[in-house]
Amino acid sequence: MSDRVCLLPCCVLVLKAGSPMEKIDKELLRHYLEHGGDAGVRERLREWFLEHDAEEEFTLREDDPVSGELYAFWERSLQRSAPQRTLDERYRALAGRLFGRKLRLQRLWRRLSQAAAVLLVPLIVCAYLLASRQVAEQPEWVEVYAPYGQTRCITLPDGSRVWLNSGTYVFYPDRFDRERQLFVSGEVYMDVTKDPERPFHVDTRNVSIRVLGTRFNLRSYNEDKYVETSLVEGSVALGLKRDGGATILMRPGDKILVDNATNAVVRERFDCAHYISWRDGFHVFRHKTLDEIARDLERMFDVQIVIRDTSLLGEEYFATFASGWEIDELLDALNIHHTLHIQRDGRIIEIERARR
């Protein structure tokens, strides 16, 4: 997967709107994405570039036809490797970053095109080869996924450690240059190596976190109502991506909840000395609704839970379970007062209110 992700920056090519060669160049772009830039492909791209002028060029965006070809390629590759994950969310999470940046390559093409009238062809070719080398030196993007029913622990290029809870995926470059960066969808616990010269940025759907060296838990599943950040050690600056991008400074013991719908912020406190989490082998449900607990259990045990009685969805529970418990034992413990009727058929679990 990573070898395809790393090629995405190569898509900042310059194409002429309405060109009769546009279809051919789509095929060329597809070939370049799937097989890499061999000498023949680079030569065709070079010839194409020399035939067009700067005034009619445009760069790839997420809503243009060529980028649509990129999305189709992206979707096909993900369907082969991870059909459970949301393709649109993953594409926007990474492609939004890559397409949105003002890449040096784009500026190089613009300056080169403006000077094309007075430059000799050999000079243009040399500049193109230089730009190609810059693209080739872009870091590769690594993807790690923790399937339902599993957790994972990885070490990043700087020595930082990341624990992934079930149903979580992360993207990060295979090397860190001027900045350290990680994209998250799901839940992670991070122990970030201190490096004052290179702050660490963690991005989720609605929150961006800037850290120097710290330990914290971040939960940002797509179906959750809140993005939750719990700081155990160090300090972080939590930035909101909407409504003006306010920044919240956190200190150890802070738990910040950001409502995904309204962007409202709630700050809570917890005792760091007694902080336990899924990373330590515990299942902790503090004022969790039955609906939220069901979603967590689905990820933990790779099952499907159907709550037949909608009046049960908002009922809250407070419980802590050590690792090693089976799902049937967890459900029995939650039903200690026998208010639920639970029926299981393989991986399908149905819950409704018990009849008196």
Per-residue pLDDT of the chain (356 residues; tens, 9 = 90+): 433 333 333 333 333 334 444 444 545 555 555 454 555 555 555 455 444 443 343 344 444 444 554 445 444 444 444 443 444 454 444 444 444 443 344 444 445 445 454 444 555 555 555 655 555 567 788 999 999 989 999 999 999 999 999 999 999 998 898 889 999 999 999 999 999 888 899 999 889 999 878 999 999 998 898 999 999 999 999 999 876 778 999 999 999 999 988 989 999 998 887 777 888 888 888 888 999 999 999 998 999 999 999 899 999 988 888 878 889 998 998 898 899 999 999 999 999 998 87
pTM for the whole structure? 0.61
Give, to the nearest 10 degrees, the angle between helix 65-81 and helix 87-100. 130
Q: What was the pLDDT predicted at 302?
A: 92
Alpha carbons 41 and 54: distance in angstroms, whole number = 22
CATH 2.60.120.1440, domain 141-274, yes or no: yes
Alpha carbons 108 and 131: distance in angstroms, whole number = 8
Q: What was the pLDDT predicted at 246?
A: 87
Query: Are 141-274 and 281-353 equal in CATH topology?
Result: no
Q: What was the pLDDT predicted at 131?
A: 56
Q: What was the pLDDT predicted at 29?
A: 53
CATH 3.55.50.30, domain 281-353, yes or no: yes
Q: What was the pLDDT predicted at 319?
A: 84
> What are the extents of the domains in the chain?
2-136, 141-274, 281-353
